[in-house]
Amino acid sequence: MGAIDLFGCNPISMAGVKRLKLATKDTSNNPLDFPLDITLKVNDESIVILSDNESGRTITIGGVGIQYRIVYPLHATFTEEEVSDRQGRFYKKVLKWEMPQVSLTTNNQLKDFLFTSSGEFAISEMVCFVEDMNGNTWIIGWDLPLILESFDLQTDVDGGDNKYILSYTSNSYQRVRQYELL
């Protein structure tokens, strides 16, 4: 089966990404334990229930406080492809986006997000909370995390601008789910 682009115009799918909330650590600065302990909505087990303190940049899901960063990406794409092999059926999820106008602030945020305190490159396991252009909210990587697949810096593009291009992948037995706030 081919990849399903969830950013198409189907009313219940993502119609482009408005913003991403990226999380790799809990509120005690520890790496997240996967799978996250989620609570499902009563009478609709395809929707995850959580609380979001946007001013404090924390989400509480299943009793765990998670700190996150907000990203307003350019050219974001998300695909979820059903794959069957000898181990069974799973869903390959790929999330890609661009961060334009590289600056000292952007570099510091990425350094905190992608590198350890000793300056080593950290392959951080991530969960992503997506708000699409239709106002729908989605959680990606809650059961098996998103893993950094590629990280690229392009310089002197689009009229002299610099940009980062990031790609994350997750192979999971669960499909992406919508979430609602308590």
In a domain, 13, yes or no: no
Q: How far is CA 177 from CA 114, 140, 147, 156, 167, in A?
A: 25, 7, 18, 38, 20
Record the pTM. 0.83
Q: If we measure between CA atoms, which residue out of 168, 178, 177 comes closest to residue 22?
A: 168
Within a domain: residue 63? yes
pLDDT band at 142, cuts 50/70/90? Answer: very high
Helix (H, G, I), strand (E, B) or coil at 46: strand
Q: How far apart are CA 130 and CA 141, in angstroms?
A: 11
- Give per-residue pLDDT as tens, 108-138: 767 666 666 666 666 678 999 999 888 889 9
Mean pLDDT value across the chain:
83
On the question of pLDDT at 52 being above 80, the answer is: yes
- How many residues does this entry show for the chain? 182
Could you give the CA distance from residue 14 to residue 134 in angstroms, rounded to a whole number?
A: 7
Angstrom distance (rounded) from CA 60 to CA 62: 7
Domain assignment of residue 31, yes or no: yes
Tell me whether residue 107 is in a domain: yes
65 or 161, which is more confident: 65
Q: Which residue has the higher pLDDT, 20 or 74?
A: 20
Number of structural domains (the chain) is 1
Question: Alpha-carbon distance 73 to 99, whole Å?
Answer: 6
- Report residue 26: phi and psi, to 5°: -85, 180
Q: What whole-number distance in Å separates Cα of residue 110 and Cα of residue 126?
A: 13
Which of 53, 57, 65, 62 has its CA nearest to residue 21?
57
Evaluate if residue 74 carries a pLDDT over 50: yes
* b/e code 79-90 from CB counts within 10 Å (16+ = b): bbeeeeeeeeeb
Q: Which residues span the domain enclosing 170?
A: 4-8+19-181
Do the domain assignments include residue 14?
no
Tell me: the pLDDT tens digits for 81-91?
999 988 889 99
Residue 88 lies in a domain: yes
Q: Does any domain span residue 66?
A: yes
Whether 171 is in a domain gets the answer yes
